[in-house]
């Protein structure tokens, strides 16, 4: 089980939103590169970086993304506003090892198929769920129903999913185990869980359920979870 620390970028800072709400922001550091290096030193085997400005259509933090990728030796997966082949190429050229497709993937499986044909395992498909639907455009708009989206994306060849429970994101209330159990029933594709993780017990519960990895953000910043507790196993 791999715990992947999250670094969400907004205005060049490392921040966390509550349930994806851009109006409820907590800033944790003005230097996200330092945060990335610290997570690596604590034992992280991969980092998860999201460009919130790009996701929300408010600019981008690509220079910060590149600085993070250059500052660490562990692989970095990057998401946020990646909606074309050119965007994928640009992020990979800045040092990312994986690219996370969200809005574009939910609305256009042919785009996912083309991206996978070109980049294979470097592609992660984000499934951000609220009320049984996949949310798009920075989690601000409802897309297809979850039960329709996963088979469609499986057919497109998705190599892995990043599934986020928006209602749990940033709450420290524990993961939505019912959601992940349902997703794992719908697909044999590896699943990375995100949203609500509070402590090591949550990590082990997701592992036992069958998730490949989990993304942790607020729990690491607030120190209810420490990487040293979960870098084994």
The catalytic site residues sit at 8, 128
In sign, the C-alpha dihedral spanning 73, 75, 78, 83 is: positive
Q: Using the structure block, give the residue that is written with the tokens 């989206």.
A: 149
> Quick one: which of 72, 56, 69, 53 has its CA closest to 12?
53
Beta carbons of 104 and 111 less than 8 angstroms apart = yes
Pair 9, 19: CB distance under 8 Å: no
Q: Which has the closest alpha carbon to 2: 37, 31, 45?
A: 45
**CA-to-CA distance for 91 and 110, rounded, in angstroms?**
20
């Amino acid at each position: 089980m791999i715990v992947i620390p999250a670094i969400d970028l907004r205005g060049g800072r490392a921040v966390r939103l509550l349930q994806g709400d851009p109006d409820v922001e907590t800033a944790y550091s003005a230097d996200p590169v330092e945060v990335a290096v610290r997570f690596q030193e604590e034992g992280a085997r991969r980092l998860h970086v999201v460009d919130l400005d790009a996701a929300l259509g408010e600019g981008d933090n690509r220079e910060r993304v590149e600085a993070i990728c250059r500052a660490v030796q562990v692989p970095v997966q990057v998401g946020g506003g990646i909606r074309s082949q050119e965007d994928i190429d640009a992020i990979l050229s800045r040092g990312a090892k994986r690219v996370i497709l969200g809005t574009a993937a939910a609305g256009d499986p042919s785009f996912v198929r083309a991206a996978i044909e070109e980049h294979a395992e470097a592609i992660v498909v984000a499934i951000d769920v609220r009320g049984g639907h996949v949310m798009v455009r920075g989690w601000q708009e409802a897309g297809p129903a979850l039960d329709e989206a996963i088979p469609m994306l499986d057919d497109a060849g998705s190599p892995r999913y990043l599934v986020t429970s928006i209602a749990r994101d940033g709450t420290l209330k524990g993961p939505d185990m019912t959601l992940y159990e349902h997703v794992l029933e719908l697909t044999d594709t590896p699943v990375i869980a995100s949203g609500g993780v509070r402590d090591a017990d949550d990590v082990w519960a997701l592992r036992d359920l069958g998730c490949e990895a989990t993304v942790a953000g607020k729990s690491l910043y607030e120190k209810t979870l420490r990487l040293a507790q979960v870098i084994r196993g």
